[in-house]
Amino acid sequence: MRKTQLTVLCLFVLAMLIVPCRAFALFGLEAGVGYWQQTPSGTLQYKPLATTAADIDIKDDLNFKSEGKPFVRVKAELPLILPNLYFMVTPMTCGGSGTITRNISFGGTQFNLGVPIESKLKLDHLDLAIFYPIRLLKTATLG
């Protein structure tokens, strides 16, 4: 009896060395935090009038500046019958103020040269994925 227990224990230890420890866990949890330097650029347009500029430049007209924001991600690997979960959130808020350097039409409203302007843009990114892993894919593709 004691010899059998010792043999089972040795096989278990050998299996732990050969097979990754994660295979014996009920679930795996991974989390990460990072920093993203956001630099908004591009143009906006909404029903332009023929007599004024059609595009609003985010950097030049609205004076948006670069800002750094943190992001957070979490991944949970669950047992075979349950799907795995992945969640990531990245906040993004940019703004600027200044004076309009040219006549601009936006949404049927005329903004004339020299008018002070203040703008704010908020785009929060939320990413949620529910997925099942494809078992043995790493083995089949050699990593």
pLDDT at residue 101 greater than cutoff 60: yes
Residue 103 confidence class, pLDDT cut points 50, 70, 90: confident
Lookup result for tokens 């050699």: 142
Question: What pLDDT score does 127 carry?
Answer: 92
Whole-model pTM: value is: 0.56
DSSP letter (8 states) at residue 24: G
Per-residue confidence (pLDDT) for residue 128, from 0 to 100: 92
HSE of 124 in the Cβ direction (CA atoms, 13 Å)?
5
* pLDDT (0 to 100) of residue 87: 92
Say what percent of the chain tops pLDDT 90.
8
Q: How many CB atoms lie within 10 A of CB 105?
A: 19
3-class DSSP assignment, residue 7:
helix
Q: Which residue has the tokens 């050998």?
A: 14
- Specify the pLDDT at position 16: 55
Q: What is the mean pLDDT of residues 45-72?
A: 77
- How do residues 12-52 score in pLDDT, each as one tens digit? 655 555 555 455 456 788 888 898 888 888 888 776 555 55
The answer to whether 130 and 84 are in contact (CB under 8 A) is yes
Tokens standing for residue 117: 């302007």
